[in-house]
Amino acid sequence: MKYYSLRHQSPPVDFRTATVTGQAPDGGLYFPEAIPRFPGGLLRELRSLSRSTVALNVMRPYVGAAIADSDLQRICAEAVDFDFPLVSVGPEVSALELFHGPTLAFKDVGARFMSRCLGYFAQHGDTPPVTVLVATSGDTGGAVASGFLGVPGVEVVILYPSGKVSPVQEQQLTTLGQNITALEVSGTFDDCQALVKRAFQDPELARRRFLTSANSINVARWLPQQLYYCFAWQQWPAQAPAPVVSVPSGNFGNLCAGLLAQASGLPLGHFIAACNANEPVPAYLRTGTFTPRAAIPTFSNAMDVGNPSNFARIMELFDNDLGRLRTALSADTVSDADTVAAIRTAWEEHGYLLDPHGAVAYTALRRYQAQHPAAPGLILATAHPVKFPNVIELVLGRTIPLPAAVQHLQDRPKRSVPLAVDYEQLKAYLM
């Protein structure tokens, strides 16, 4: 499989180069030259296959000859090595829980897959040691830290805004050690991101260190997200109509992966892009004009993205045809007040505790179902509610206990390197 740049100003590359470099030299996102069809046998047998077999079959055409089959098999098995249960939230809604991985959020699968690919490339062939540089508002950093821990040939540097991530999120960033360094920036997430962006554009730094990014711009983090939709389908009742799928969206990697799985033949119904107050995509579907904005802080903070990178990939998937896109995809905007109301309703009526991101998806789905009554719905529950204690306390009047998966982090000492919002200081550190 070759990947071309969406800006068409640099040559196509294979999976290895796309993964190691992250973004094309012309600044474009990489996109696969062909959308592979899932083999008919795979779809027929899907319900009886193991998750790792599904993962291998879905990912193999995208990876091509870049990774030996037995290694890819191991990488796939390790990437999906936890549960993805489909649970009911009332009679018309099912939630696919994507938060049973090590950092309790859905980014674990992509981060684990990508880290193992980079580790493989560091050990096979002439890839130089790589530094993964990433800014986080919370979940990305934890998933990347956990996914890359101990991977040889890869060093990880994470910038996070001091005092602006939740306690569990901070523990996930700062207690692992080894090849993971957390830079605690006395600024906002936007400051962290601006520092990282500048580092990627610094030619002097590039001569010193091979930098790559680990957000969903990277094909090795983006493409494995298709697997969630396959896992949902494995558990979907055989005779039931295809589900309407509501995806809580920020940078739009997850939703784009779902549309890709559908284009490959997975029988899913209509898609809903469920957004918080950051709504350039809903506005685009309404008006036909795409206007990036500064991010607005909300309760569903992992979706506070004002200029979603992966939307360009969605447009490519639909040949930049807005009319076609509108038939496949709706979009909705959910306020913080409605997010809290949805957490309360789902809890009181169905005994199910949503996190703020899942609650945005739930609200958008229920509104769609009010217009389309016969449609059974699927939401992606992308994070464990325990990661958002303030919002949960607002609804329940109490906090909920930490799951065992993160409890062990409690007793480990925090290690972070303080950093001012000063590019020269970051550069000095990296040099």
Ligand X SMILES: *Cc1c(COP(=O)(O)O)cnc(C)c1O
Per CB under 6 A, the list member of 107, 112, 116, 270 interacting with ligand X is 107
What is the separation of C-alpha 174 from the centre of its chain, rounded to a whole number of angstroms?
21
Which range, of 89-97, 174-182, 247-255, 419-427, touches ligand X by CB under 6 A? Answer: 247-255
Map tokens 């550069």 to a residue. Answer: 427
Closest to ligand X by CB, 16 or 357: 357
The residue type of 29 is L
Residue 251 makes contact with ligand X by CB under 6 A: yes
Task: Tell me if 141 sits within 8 A of 162, measured CB to CB.
Answer: no
Closest to ligand X by CB, 99 or 121: 99
DSSP assignments along 339-360, one per residue: HHHHHHHHHHHH-----HHHHH
Shortest CB 92 distance to ligand X, Å: 22
Residue 312 makes contact with ligand X by CB under 6 A: no
Residue 250 makes contact with ligand X by CB under 6 A: yes
Closest to ligand X by CB, 262 or 382: 382
Closest to ligand X by CB, 161 or 253: 253
Residue 62: its H or E element: helix 51-63
What is the C-alpha radius of gyration for the chain, rounded to an integer number of angstroms?
A: 20
Shortest CB 257 distance to ligand X, Å: 8
Phi, psi (deg, nearest 5) at residue 416: -145, 155
Q: At what angle do helices 389-396 and 336-350 cross, to 10 degrees?
A: 60
- Return the residues of window 346-365 that contact ligand X according to CB under 6 A: 357
Residue 369 makes contact with ligand X by CB under 6 A: no
Closest to ligand X by CB, 67 or 391: 391
Residue 139 makes contact with ligand X by CB under 6 A: yes
Tell me whether strands 154-161 and 130-135 are parallel, antiparallel or unpaired. parallel
Residue 249 makes contact with ligand X by CB under 6 A: yes
- DSSP letter at 319 equals T
Shortest CB 302 distance to ligand X, Å: 3
Q: What angle do CA 215, 135, 1 make, to 5 degrees?
A: 15
Which parts of this chain interact with ligand X (CB under 6 A)? 105, 107, 139, 216, 248-255, 302-303, 357, 382-383
